Chains A and B, each alone.
Chain A
Amino acid sequence: MVKLKSNDDKEFEVEEAAVIQSEMIKNMIEDGCATSVIPLPNIDSKTLIKVIEYLNKHINMGKAAETGEEDDLKEFDEQFVNMGWEELFDVIMAANYLNIHELMELCCQSAADRLKNKSVRAVREMLKITNDLTEEEEQEIINDAPWAFEGPEIDDTVN
């Protein structure tokens, strides 16, 4: 078992087989730097719980294909990314810091899927972005790339 500590001082025990999906922690273990608790100053406990849930489910992922668990994992992944933007970005930052490639791909793909075909207004609203471009700057971009603003598929809803 490996002990991880979140930035709000909560400790979690994770099986080594699960936690080594993080390249960062794997390297620490190989270098013998993981003898006691591993502090993770960039990750809060709420996010760490999500990451550990993913790691535990994806343990021995290479074997999933042989045992026919692929569909099960796919379903888990779909459910897993069913979270709000804030939480999704937290998990992306954690996956990036811990260097968990598959988790990073899964979450970035999910973020991208939500942005696909969305109108500018919808993106601003979904992500609570205040437009800090001046009207002239905005118009200049639109003039430069009119092809990006054409097409019937542009979706103005925020779901």
Chain B
Amino acid sequence: MEGNNDSVDVTGDNRISKLPKPILHHILSFISSNDAARMSTVSKVCASAWNSLPYLNFGYIHYGSQHMHDVIDQILANRKKNNIPMQNFSLWLGYYHPRLSFVDNWIKILVACNIKQLNLREKPDNVYYSLPETIFSAKSLTVLSLEGFKIELPADEHLSLRYFNGLTSFQVGETLPKLKKVNLVNLANQENLGYDHSVLQLIDIAAINVEDLSINNHSHGNINAVRVTDCKTLKSFYLNCVDITDNWLEELFYSLQNLEKFDLT
């Protein structure tokens, strides 16, 4: 920066190198892995910060980036080797791929590294891929956000499902006592797909500790059956494009005694 030359430390010492590593990691968590990896050639401190960075955000991966698979393979293998506890992994696969078995391997490594937040998206016209069962052993997972991926059963505290084609019913039962936040967006089918789809018919949530529930089916037609029972701790409830009746509302308010905020559009 101009005019600051007189403050240059002649020993070559600089502030960023003196930041504790967790703080440097926190700053790097806001930039893409692309930027973070490039920064690793800035200095030894930066190289070491990158090699142990627990936040990986690869963003959108273009068609023809086959070599990115190898890159991610290598980066994750490196994290695992060094026992880096992973905080966040985000990836958007922007192309068609017949088999996503390489994702299985990444999830396996991430689960072994105690991944906390996993955000995966793929193109809506891709072949829907089911996440491997390993995902259920992700004991540290607090946020699972998926778009275009299938999953048989949800994970821990925060469940976010968007554009889940082919889902006919979504049910959360008492088997998930840790679930606190549920966010459902456009679960019904996309009309622009040329073959028959089942339509989401039922959402049934019975989660004893859920506090925040949001269902938004904007642009995909109304969902006609939403059942919310036993959600005694529910505080905030948002509904968009859901068919409801007066009776339904009455019963709902009767059962949700701790409700503080209710939005209906």
Residues on A close to B: CB < 8 A? 84-86, 89, 92-93, 96, 104, 108-109, 111-113, 115-120, 123-124, 126-133, 137-138, 141-142, 144-145, 147-149, 151, 154, 158
Contact = CB atoms under 8 A, between A and B. Distances in A.
A141 B1 contact: no
A62 to B, nearest CB: 13
Contacts of A138: 41
B208 interface: no
Interface string B34-69: 110111111110110000000000000000000110
A51 B31 CA distance: 25
Contacts of B161: none
Contacts of A154: 38
A129 B41 contact: no
Interface string B64-93: 000110010010000000000000000000
B261 interface: no
A127 B32 CA distance: 19
B43 A132 contact: yes
B1 A115 contact: no
A128 to B, nearest CB: 5
Contact of A133 (B30, B43, B71): B43
B30 A112 contact: yes
B245 interface: no
A129 B1 contact: no
26 contacts: A84-B1, A84-B4, A86-B15, A89-B19, A93-B23, A104-B26, A108-B29, A112-B28, A112-B30, A116-B32, A120-B42, A123-B39, A123-B42, A127-B16, A127-B42, A128-B4, A128-B7, A129-B16, A130-B12, A130-B14, A145-B38, A147-B68, A148-B34, A148-B38, A151-B34, A154-B38
Determine the main DSSP class of B at the interface with A: helix
Contacts of A128: 4, 7-9, 14-15
Interface residues of B, number: 37
B41 A133 contact: yes
B257 interface: no
Considering the complex of A and B, which 4 residue pairs feature the smallest CB-CB distances, nearest first?
Answer: A112-B30, A130-B12, A148-B37, A148-B38
Contacts of A84: 1, 4
Contacts of B71: 145, 147
Given A126-B1, A133-B47, A147-B68, A108 B40 contact: no
B67 A147 contact: yes
Given A149-B38, A158-B1, A89 B31 contact: no
B27 interface: yes
A112 B27 contact: yes
Given A85-B1, A115-B39, A118-B35, 4 more contacts: A129-B17, A130-B14, A141-B40, A147-B68
A62 B68 CA distance: 43
Contact of A108 (B27, B37, B41, B67): B27
A86 B18 CA distance: 11
Contact of A89 (B16, B34, B37): B16
B12 A115 contact: no
A131 to B, nearest CB: 6
Contacts of B1: 84-85, 126, 158
A109 B7 CA distance: 25
Contacts of B38: 119-120, 145, 148-149, 154
Contacts of A109: 30
Contacts of B7: 86, 128
A112 B26 CA distance: 9
A129 B18 CA distance: 11
Contacts of B16: 85, 89, 127, 129
